[in-house]
Structures are given as structure tokens and as C-alpha cells.
Amino acid sequence: MNPRQNDAHQSGSDALVTPGWLEERLETVAADDPELRLIEVDLNTEFYEQGHIPGAVGIDWRRQLQHATRRDLPSKEAFADLLGTHGITEDSEIVLYGDSSNWFAAHLYWMLTYYGHDDVSLLDGGRRHWIESERPTTAEVPSYTPRSYRPGGPFEGVRAYQHDVERALSKPTELVDVRLPGEYEGALITPPGMNESAQRGGHVPGAKNIVWSENLQSDGRFKSPETLAELYRTRGVGKDSDVIVYCRIGERSSLTWFVLSELLGHPSVRNYDGAWIEWGNLIGAPIVTGPEPGE
């Protein structure tokens, strides 16, 4: 039996660890040895300051995982410096979790895959489920010996760009828009409380609206692989499909990319991290408002 699968909820993938698996390894997490490192990734860094899983280091998604002026990924050099500062090497096993149903943790997971890190997992249920299940937290901030981190890649097979979406309009590629129905149909430009915006609302022509939250149970943990496979099969996203997922800024779609690529094993899934902030601001980009014809 896979040692990660020792909770009632079976992960079915080495990409997903259960809270029970992690709790048994908190001493290893807190050791200075870089073998296993735990990272909390938040948009609201006050969460980490109020209390986090013992041994976890904190990463500020907005400040440390987005380019300050281009809203692009960090360069390979900046990424290496960030991870090395937290005592992480390219051989470390990394477990990620965070706020907002693991959106931002999933985005870092995708980024680590882009830069060639092999041994990385998400904590099922993220920060919310860990706390609701009354597992240990602390306000103590750990300090680890800095290490040299040598990223690989970038491996472009997991990333889509504007030109890839443009090609998908006339190719057999499934576009999956994971945003709220109001965003998809153009009634909302941004979700409530968010700032980054686009000039136009709507969706890329032909995109299917499969909201990111459909991947999760009510407690924030992922649905079973069988349930997830059925969800996407019945919505027309076959396992052999070429798939591009997108949202508004790339973090919610990272969660869906994780499900399709890592939990379900779809071989061709790319995350369009330029997302609606890019497409909705392009001059002349084709956009559909309202539901797709025939829906």
C-alpha cells in the first residue's frame, strides 16, 4: 500500500498527500536536512503569521511568485534563489499547501513542474482542512540553512501562451474555462474582492465552463479519481484530448491542471497563465458573451 494513502480519503496519486501522512512526518519536516520541505503559499500572508503547520516556510504568492512589472513567472534565477533561501534543493521532496482551496499552492506546483522539479505534492484539503481537523499549528517561523537550488527546464509542455490559444480556435483542442459562470458569460469581469481586471468580459470561443470548485468535496479535499474522471468525461474532455485550461490570473486553472494532469493522468494539459487578464485586454481577440451556442 502506498504509505501516503493512510487516511480514510485515498489520494490515488503520489502528487497528493493526506493530512495523516504529513502529520506523521512533522519531525522530518522541521529538520534542517533538505530531504523534505513543507511550503505554505498564500495570497493573504496574515494567515501564515497567525498560525501554520509546524516546520512550514511561507511564500507570498503575489510578491514572490509574480514578476513585479510583467505579471510573468519569476526568472529561473529568481526562482532558484527563492527556493534555495528556504533550504530547498532540486532533490528535496516538496509538499505544498495554502489558502483559497490550494489555488496558490497548485500554482507553485505547476511552476515547479515547469522548472523541472520531480518530487512535489499537494496537501489534500490545504490549510483549511488541516485546521478544521484540529491538527497542530504554530506561529514559530522556521529557519533552514540556505542551499543551492538548480532548476531545470523550462518545460514548455505544461504552459500555454496567447498563440497557443489562438491556434486552439481552429484545432481539436479542448479549452476549459474554470471561472465562475458569471465571469464566463461576461456578467462579471473579476470575482468579488479581486482587483486585477480586463477591459472585456466573456470567454474564449468554444471554451467549456467547468468551474474549479467542481473538483472538490465540501471540506476542500479532492473528489475521488473515479468521480473526477466521470466529471470531465461527461463534459467532453477525454483523456486523450489536447487541453488548455485558463482562469483570470492562472491560479484557479492551476488547480484544474493539477487534477487533469497529475490526478487523472491526462497526457496533454497546458495552463494558460496569461489567462483572462491577457485575453480580455487584447485588441480584436474573439470573445463570446453569454453561454456557448447549443448549451
Say which amino acid occupies 96.
L
CB of 120 within 8 A of CB of 113? yes
Burial class (CB in 10 A: 0-12, 13-18, 19+), 200: middle
Assign 251 to helix, strand or coil: helix
265 is catalytic: no
**Which single residue is written with the C-alpha cell 467542481?**
214
C-alpha separations of 113 from 71, 82, 118, 153 in Å: 19, 16, 7, 9
Instruction: Find, among 223, 284, 212, the residue nearest to 249 by Cα.
Output: 212
CB of 141 within 8 A of CB of 252? no
Q: What share of the chain is helix, strand, coil (3-state, %, to 5)?
A: 35, 15, 50
Question: Which residue in the list 53, 106, 247, 275 is annotated as catalytic?
Answer: 247
Measured distance CA(136)–CA(138) in Å, rounded:
7
Which residues partner with 288 through β-bridges? 203
Active-site annotation, residues: 247
